Structure 1
Amino acid sequence: MVLAPKLHLRQTQSLVMTPQLLQSIKLLQMTHQELERFLDAEIERNPLLEWRDDSATQEARDESPEWSKDSDTASTNSAEGISDRLDASLENLFPDDPGTHDRIGPDLSAQWKSAGGNGLQAAGSGGSYDLEATTAASVTLRDHVNEQIALAFSSPARQIMAHELAEGLDEAGYMLADPDEMAARIGAHRAALDEVLTVCQTFDPPGLFARSLSECLALQLIARDRYDPAMRAMVENLELLAKRDFQTLGRLCGVDSEDLADMLAEIRTLDPKPGMAFSSGTADPIVPDVVVKAANDGSWAVELNPETLPRVLVNEPYFAEVSAHARETDRQFLSECLQSANWLTRSLDQRARTILKVASEIVRQQDAFLIHGVSHLRPLNLRTVAEAIGMHESTVSRVTVNKYMMTPRGTFELRYFFSSALASADGGDAHSSEAVRERIRHLIDNEEPGAVLSDDALVDILNREGIDIARRTVAKYREALNIPSSVQRRREKRMLAAAAGGSTAMARTA
């Protein structure tokens, strides 16, 4: 066997992921907010990219002769025209008090658009005043607690311990820090720290500085003067309440079913997370990417939401003007920027077309859902949509991530319309798993107190309706809907029925 170098010719095919292709893939799966942040960075980096100004059309119309001619009449009816014809100055509105317009103060008067004198001049010169900038900042939980600490403790040592306890609060208002470790860190006695904690547990809102859920509920009941032995027993046995073991809970509390129902109603009015009232976190509103409306011919009109469409332009006149007098290195840089900008705009256009194409196919597949509701949601997968529009399944998957569609039945994520299929018992069309979940919810919501449906009973009903489903699937869907088992529901309905019967009997006796 001889080892020697040889030259061979081989032809192969491979998919090369160019930077432009990677950019297109990333743009496809970006949300509206992520896309805006990406474009801001690109515009800052690329001098040939700029946001499109929608006011340019309005400015052009203002400069046109036709618009100026029509605006002559309108200007006479404007606020400025009326003010010129009528004597409506502040001095004549208040002739007896010539200094009224100065009461506002020169600084504040210069900021207000509606004020006279300097205020009008500031507004006319293009200055703007944002009143929201002067509003007070939201009070945090730590600020609220610190204000009460300053009033509750006069001793500096106890204030230090109280502030240390406040540092251990989480956003829900629970004190999760270890008191022994805290006492050792600040050099305080554990007994003194417990005394400070007891005072802090009386702060508003009730329930702060609790170390467990039962203690949080107990503190709120103490503030209401409702922490009697029966309530104490209920709060100390919350695990029985979670299991809906009302018989054992009523025996421990020493009350009948009617009193137990009243106690449960009062427990439901308590706040398990009192500190969340001071949470400053805000959720971003959902902005739909696609809008679906009913057309005049009975079909559905699918449109892209103009608010989510990126308005980016390539400044080609600037490129031509600068490159004509630039050096070779600068011209090469500008050419690369122009190529990158053109590719970005084409990628954005392709992204919009792809989203519209996928959304239109989803609307076509789920036409019955838009007409009749979730019970008519069809089973659908990514492959079906991909084959219908001639795209790859991975492309459809990227489009449907964090994209929302506004329909006459509400705003849904595009992923919502894709669900697995359950076979039909009579050999007909398959059923969507989401529709089956909704059917299970409807059956349980409408069950009679004396005839609570078990999982086996639900299976029998669904089989008679043509849905081939197993008992474990029903149990899985029920748990996903946060619906307790039939045993727990029967206990709760039995207790409520007994409480209602006792109230009726008392009313008849009265």
Structure 2
Amino acid sequence: MALTARLDLAQRQRLAVSPQLRQSLAILRLPTAALAEEIAREAAENPFLTVADPGTGSSAYDYALATTAATESLVESLHRQIALQRLGSVEQAAALYLVGELREDGYLDQPLGELTDAAGLPRAILEAGLAALQRCEPAGIGARTLAECLELQLAEAGLERSLARAVALRIDDFALERWARLGRELGLAPAELTRISGLLRGLSSAPVRDDRDMVAMIVPELVVETGPQGQISVVPVHSAFPRLGVLDARRDTLDTDALRALYDRASLMVRGVAARSETLLRIGRFIATTQSAFFLGSHDTIRPVTRAEAAAALSMHGSTLGRALAGKALMAGNRVYPLSHFFSRALNGPDGRVSPFDVQRRMRELIAAESADAPLADEVICAQLRREGVDIARRTVAKYRKCMRIPSSFGRKRRKVSTQNQPRTVHKNDKIS
């Protein structure tokens, strides 16, 4: 029996609850440029939605279109792939809802049990929607753990799903080349283990790579301004979107259901965009308060603040905050920063918590000061940071180095040139400030 058929009347009614909230959350999730496109599409189809120039000259969105290539976004790609699957309307709605819950790296970190209440959907329907989402490209999308991400990628590479799951759960054994144990537990010949090991080396630790769906220009929706007395203010970028309104008409005078539906769509979009702006402004003010040293200084240090801490301080659900941060940015000092730039998991440092941003800054200093003939390996950088009081693992050092697009010590040695006449040395007494 299809899952749709198992829904009782009460469950079906829950799917239609609060269209305004659903529309607001969908609008909040869209990156700035994608929302501008959605506004233009709706305005072209809906005579009740009025669009006026913001009155500030060329908009930030117009500039972005002139300087970036038009590509299909990840959200658009997932929506297209889900629409191509033979899903019932309810399963499709669940899959599309889960797209909005994805982190920027493609992981789904909200437990399905929590999403059941938030979405107003039964657990079985969400599981069906998740299965549909995980059938999409890129392989691993919608994974909830690293093991599940690897499992989905291995299955895409041709492994039977149960074998892919067993391999993903034994990733440490593959890394340590425990062939005898793997042969016994998986029942595979050495040649097959070697083939799977090669597959593992080509997999990604996240469904979405850092450079996927990135464009050369991120349109800021907020500006952080500093005054002569050290005061900080946050104002919206009014040119990011046109001014929206609803055509002056009485809904009860419209003579067809189609016209009333268009009127309601226009009203929902206007209210949704306004709610989005208010939410982003609240988040921007929180960032300005917690990161005042960043905005008043030289933009070289960030206080460690987690998303969970921010959500609690703003009385906001974690998934709502995640939607608000995705693809959004602010401008400060003529530079554009993604909102996610100001949130991170803290590391233990010499004077308490330290942000990954500050650790990466210190890593840049160490690498800039290294000898051209003997660049610092990740293990050496890790040891130096530990001497300075930072609790960090070597794999984290390697991850940060890759995020900063800095080659390995071997790659740097090949790229270093002899023009560095007097290379500086690393001083053990240098600290993370």
What TM-score results when the alignment is normalised by the length of structure 2?
Answer: 0.51
- Structure with more helix by fraction: 1
Q: Is the 8 A contact 1:440 1:458 kept in 2?
A: yes
Give the Cα–Cα distance (whole angstroms) in 2 for the partners of residues 17 and 458 of structure 1. Answer: 54
The answer on whether the counterparts of 1:374 and 1:434 sit within 8 Å (CA) in structure 2 is no
Higher relative contact order (CA 8 A, sep 6+): 2
Match of 2:427 in 1: none
Rounded to whole Å, the distance in 2 between the matches of 1:313 and 1:476 is: 46
* Gap runs ≥5 in structure 1: 1-9, 56-282, 502-510
Instruction: Summarize deviations over 1:101-126 as a string: whole Å, max 9, x none.
Output: xxxxxxxxxxxxxxxxxxxxxxxxxx
Could you tell me how far apart the structure 2 residues matched to 1:420 and 1:377 are?
12
Q: Is the 8 A contact 1:370 1:409 kept in 2?
A: no
For 1:312 and 1:347, how far apart are their aligned partners in 2? 11
Cα distance between partner residues in 2 of 1:475 and 1:46: 51
Give me the identity figure in percent: 33
Aligned counterparts of 1:448 and 1:380: Cα–Cα separation in 2: 35
User: Structure 1 residue 403: deviation in Å?
Assistant: 0.7
Aligned-residue CA RMSD in angstroms? 3.5
* Aligned equivalent of 1:370: 295
Which of 243, 248, 252 pairs up with 1:311?
243
The amino acid that maps onto 1:370 is: F
In structure 2, the partner of 1:469 is: 392
Residues 19-58 of structure 1: matches in 2 within 5 Å?
A: 19-52=19-52
- 2:382 matched residue in structure 1: 459
- For structure 2, the residue ranges without an aligned partner over 5 or more in a row are 1-9, 56-214, 423-433
Q: Residue deviations 1:304-363, cap 9 Å, x none?
A: 1011134111122xx25x976x7xx34x55544444333322222111100111121122
Q: Kindly provide the CA deviation profile for residues 246-280 of structure 1, in whole angstroms up to 9, marking residues without a partner as x.
A: xxxxxxxxxxxxxxxxxxxxxxxxxxxxxxxxxxx
The answer as to 2:358 corresponding to 1:435 is: yes
Q: How far apart in 1 are the matches of 2:261 and 2:373?
A: 76
Q: Is the 8 A contact 2:348 2:391 kept in 1?
A: yes
* Paired residue type of 2:304: P
Cα distance per residue 1:172-210 (max 9 Å; x no partner):
xxxxxxxxxxxxxxxxxxxxxxxxxxxxxxxxxxxxxxx
**Corresponding pairs, count:** 253
Is the CA contact 2:29–2:324 (under 8 Å) kept in the aligned structure 1? yes
CA distance in 1, matches of 2:261, 2:405: 56
Alignment correspondent of 1:347: 272
How does 1:171-320 map onto structure 2 within 5 Å? 285-316=217-248, 319-320=249-250
Q: Shift of the alpha carbon at 1:412? A: 1.0
Aligned equivalents of 1:345, 1:487: Cα separation in 2: 55
Go from structure 1 to structure 2 and tell me whether the alpha carbon gap of 1:52 and 1:482 turns closer, same or farther (over 3 Å shift): closer
- Matched AA of 2:398: A
**Residues 1:446 and 1:17: Cα distance change in structure 2 (over 3 Å):** farther
The more displaced of 444-453 and 359-368 is 444-453
Deviation of 1:457 after TM superposition, in Å, equals 3.7
When residues 47 and 492 of structure 1 are mapped into structure 2, their CA distance, relative to the original with a 3 A threshold, is closer
Q: TM-score, normalised by structure 1?
A: 0.44
State the partner residue of 1:447: 370
Amino acid at match of 1:307: S
Counterparts of 2:383 and 2:324, CA distance in 1: 39
Q: Is the 8 A contact 1:323 1:334 kept in 2?
A: no
Secondary structure in 2 aligned to 1:406? strand
How far apart, CA to CA, are the structure 2 residues paired with 1:335 and 1:16?
17
CA contact (8 A) 1:375 1:439 kept: no
Secondary structure of the 2:239 match is coil
Distance verdict in 2 for CA 1:398–1:338, change over 3 Å: same
The 2-side partners of 1:483 and 1:454 are apart by 12
Q: Go from structure 1 to structure 2 and tell me whether the alpha carbon gap of 1:490 and 1:390 turns closer, same or farther (over 3 Å shift).
A: same
The verdict on how the C-alpha distance between 1:347 and 1:485 changes in structure 2, with shifts beyond 3 A counting, is closer
